[in-house]
Structure 1
């Protein structure tokens, strides 16, 4: 987390899975998650407890024992079955943090307003009655108020008139159409989250709250941004994805501290030239818009680290963009590239490059310059053969080559063994008939996805990948699995549905990985016993054969001796 306790912001519905990479996200990350070893059960309660976690305990109320903790400062009661807040809540005179989200609370008792020390209150995901909300306005020391998913249709004016110290206001997932004009009274407000409401116009009132640093208005019905947005000189993050925006006001250039801008999934055709002055920009998301041309303004943003330009009609990348050496994540998927721009190969700090869904036919050898590249997505392109230049990327950890729509690969080269750092290999939706034995040398591989191919068997070398966690080979032509597959102790998921399996049988495979393992062990035991019996018979046969040979030899010897003792035949000797 960088700028906010609420978490980080990430472009949604983008095709690239940036699992390990730090990406900005509009979704709040809960701050009320407590490590289990720090939680305290009611049986250990004493009058000197300052913190207690009773989340997700199926509790129906806040017990009198908890309410008697005079020095309690932080109480977690989220994810329970609580229907009301006890009136004795006012006994907790030192309480600063109260989390009651994800319960069944409808009415808020007046006594809650007497807990004057409260700094953070979360009542999200409760069926709150709007008429009881004004009680919160008495908590004038409040710094953070979260009312997510409470079916709010309007914000009580009293909250805006009295909560002068609030710095964070969470109102996402409600039915708000607008904000009261009195919200300008929240002069210390720094973060406001209004995602997933029914707001049709960017609230101009927000433009007059000078301390605002984060505004989240994603997934609303906003069609324009007011010129007054330029008044927000402390704004750091602005999230407006999934709206109906067709333009951006030039005055946004006055928001000099702006570092994160998400305008994805709108109707934007161009950016104002003056935006080049936003030199603090770190994360830009313009995916799924109608730009058609590369926005040259961003070539002036030398601090950019994350750039998402998926599906905006690009055919080329200007050379000036490739000078942005701080870029670590670049998404150019679903555009119109027929080749990988060679200039991108000069962006040596790139760690993630997504080029899915283009018309690329080959990879330039210059790609070897991307020595820090960990994630490469090239699915749904136009390669006629497997691009062996990929094997120059020795730092690669995740490789995506699934071909839902593009020309399909028929083989995977043995040189795959050169990618010794590979953790994930995705080659689904191709025409692979076999996997190379060299696949077993990828000792760091965790995910092997070969679903929807033409595989008839898996190489035994797969059993050498000791760190493998997921093996996805559904919808192939497999009839059996490698005998020692269960030796992979980290392997938790095996998908073989859609194969004509006989060993193990389909009915066993349908029962999941543990059933497959049990079957393989049983088959090994049966085979071992069979071999043991065969060896015993072989030994007996050999002994019997040896005995028979020995007996025969003895008989032959005896016959030879007997012949030697016979008398001379009559007339055969000379007369004397």
Structure 2
């Protein structure tokens, strides 16, 4: 009878009275019986205004079955049943919890998010085995000091409350690995936080912080620090010594200078968009050896240094909405998968090149590196502006490696277009803005060389197998056509990273896409997609961007929250009711967290 140990001291009537049933109707007896076997009880979304007494006393009182003199098999003897270790009472209408909480001393997980709690009972100190406590999306204004007694706590989730301060002694939670205090009213972070030496993830976003304590650098294991949406004007220079830091979010603050990170050799993502940064210098870049994502959008940058080439690992660079008038040609040497430069007063790159996307911009910049003198520069400009009556832009084939026959409103691509390639090696094909009803069969002749194909704004209703032979294809644009399916043979596109299927007639996400493991970006907005398979989506480990805007999704499967690799998930314009618009506005991380919290246990 180990499950009664420690509780009997507090309740002298243990085992000698029937289970109280004043609130029993709220919890089916079958659910309680199952909880005694599994040690887990989920009462989420039952409109409870208070926790039924039978829940608090589940390991104290004799079960209903025993009171009815029902026989128990060897495996069902109630006194040998499992102590409750996991209790979920989220998404209810609870305004308070009673001190009866102490009757569940074996709890390791307590999830009470999305209620109306204004405080926590002092008895919470007796849940010494607790490892995860989720009190997010409540109305807490203060935390009881007793919470610092939970020395085994590893995950503490306090986001979306009304907290203005952190209690004294918080640093005693030395086993804490994941702490989320985002969307509160904090104005300071205690210097004692540095004692949280096990902390791996810290979310301080959407508070009112004007500064961070220098002592924060003492968190030697911290990998993920989110300080988005605060009032920070600078970050302490000591942060440069946080050797374990991998993800740093500083969006929507008041930073005027980009921090330097000489010791942060593992830093993979740096997000400093929507600040007031004016200068990006070599000193800011030289130590970012491992950086994969650099977000500098919506600042006041006027230039990008040639030293940007130091970031050889960089995959995603966002420079949109700054004051940049020109880009260094050396930028073309980077192996970027995503480059955003919209909203800048660029004078050196024509709008039509920018509109063609990342790879076209990089190719253009690389081509400018090769320009040794005015004559070649002039010829390149000529190649970009040949008169419209010229049927084939041979110069673009030779110089930019592009086979461009776009915006001709033709129903067939003439043979002379393919003939013009001759022995030249091209990497891009642009047949967009025509009237093509099928893909030209001669495209198969380019299968050994082409990596980018643009067939957008045509009248394609099916994809021919010739396209599936382009095994070097990494980027495929099929937007604004009449497509409602894709052939299974597209599995052969073993290098495909980006596919744009927007403005077509798809009713489901094409099955073949789940079987292309290299896919990083799927754009399928403005279709009629009614469902996605979250299990198959989770298996797509490289998928970073999924655009499902303006489709017919009536519900979003909670399991989609397990797709933790997604950095951009766009769901606006669908008829589902949850997540609410307020959640969607908070961005991908908030959406995924919301969905994960609603996965049935």
Aligning the two structures, in what range does the TM-score lie when normalised by the shorter sequence?
0.5 to 0.7
- Displacement of 1:59: 2.1
Distance in 2 separating the partners of 1:248 and 1:177: 22
Instruction: Count the aligned residue pairs.
Output: 381
Instruction: Confirm whether residue 443 of structure 1 aligns to residue 496 of structure 2.
Output: no
Instruction: Confirm whether residue 140 of structure 1 aligns to residue 151 of structure 2.
Output: yes
TM-score, length basis structure 2: 0.54
Change (3 A) 1:49 1:466: closer
Contact 1:446 1:470 in 2 (8 A): no
Counterpart of 1:93 in 2: which secondary structure?
A: coil
Instruction: Confirm whether residue 92 of structure 1 aligns to residue 101 of structure 2.
Output: no
- Counterpart of 1:150? 161
Gaps of 5+ in 2: 1-28, 60-81, 355-359, 367-383, 387-392, 414-428, 433-442, 444-449, 469-474, 487-498, 511-523, 529-550, 555-573, 576-601
- Counterpart of 1:289? 299
Contact 1:470 1:492 in 2 (8 A): no
Instruction: Confirm whether residue 345 of structure 1 aligns to residue 363 of structure 2.
Output: yes
- Counterpart of 1:321? 331
Counterpart of 1:48 in 2: which secondary structure?
A: helix
- Displacement of 1:179: 1.3
- Displacement of 1:268: 1.0
Deviations 1:412-471 (A, max 9, x none): 5557977979999766xxxxxxxxxxx445634997649xxxxxxxxxxx7999979955
Instruction: Confirm whether residue 224 of structure 1 aligns to residue 234 of structure 2.
Output: yes
Distance in 2 separating the partners of 1:269 and 1:213: 27
Counterpart of 2:144 in 1: which secondary structure?
A: helix
- Counterpart of 1:9? none
Q: Which has the larger radius of gyration?
A: 1
Distance in 2 separating the partners of 1:423 and 1:338: 22
Instruction: Confirm whether residue 254 of structure 1 aligns to residue 263 of structure 2.
Output: yes
Change (3 A) 1:369 1:100: farther
Question: Which of the numbers 61, 64, 69 marks the counterpart of 2:50?
Answer: 61
Residues 10-49 of structure 1 mapped to structure 2, 5 A cutoff: 42=31, 45-49=34-38
Bigger drift between 90-99 and 441-450 goes to 441-450
Bigger drift between 147-156 and 289-298 goes to 289-298
Instruction: Confirm whether residue 118 of structure 1 aligns to residue 130 of structure 2.
Output: yes
Contact 1:319 1:343 in 2 (8 A): no
- Displacement of 1:255: 1.4
Contact 1:71 1:94 in 2 (8 A): yes
Counterpart of 1:320 in 2: which secondary structure?
A: helix
- Counterpart of 1:560? none
Change (3 A) 1:463 1:77: closer
Counterpart of 1:52 in 2: which secondary structure?
A: strand
Change (3 A) 1:415 1:188: closer
Residues 36-435 of structure 1 mapped to structure 2, 5 A cutoff: 42=31, 45-67=34-56, 68-69=58-59, 70-130=82-142, 132-160=143-171, 162-250=172-260, 252-274=261-283, 275-325=285-335, 327-335=336-344, 336=346, 337-338=349-350, 340=353, 344-345=362-363, 390-391=430-431, 412-414=457-459
Change (3 A) 1:63 1:332: same
Distance in 1 separating the partners of 2:340 and 2:455: 14
Change (3 A) 1:385 1:59: farther
- Displacement of 1:201: 1.8
Gaps of 5+ in 1: 1-39, 349-359, 372-382, 401-411, 428-438, 451-461, 473-490, 495-511, 514-576
Contact 2:181 2:205 in 1 (8 A): yes
Distance in 1 separating the partners of 2:98 and 2:290: 48
Contact 1:223 1:244 in 2 (8 A): yes
Counterpart of 2:431 in 1: which secondary structure?
A: helix
- Displacement of 1:182: 2.2
Distance in 2 separating the partners of 1:293 and 1:254: 26
Deviations 1:536-573 (A, max 9, x none): xxxxxxxxxxxxxxxxxxxxxxxxxxxxxxxxxxxxxx
Contact 1:417 1:441 in 2 (8 A): yes
Contact 2:178 2:199 in 1 (8 A): yes
Deviations 1:121-176 (A, max 9, x none): 1111212241x52121111111111111211111112223x212212221111111
- Displacement of 1:46: 4.1
Distance in 2 separating the partners of 1:413 and 1:492: 24
Distance in 2 separating the partners of 1:116 and 1:157: 18
Contact 2:234 2:256 in 1 (8 A): yes
When the two chains are superposed, the root-mean-square deviation of aligned CA atoms in Å is 4.4
Bigger drift between 254-263 and 76-85 goes to 76-85
TM-score, length basis structure 1: 0.57
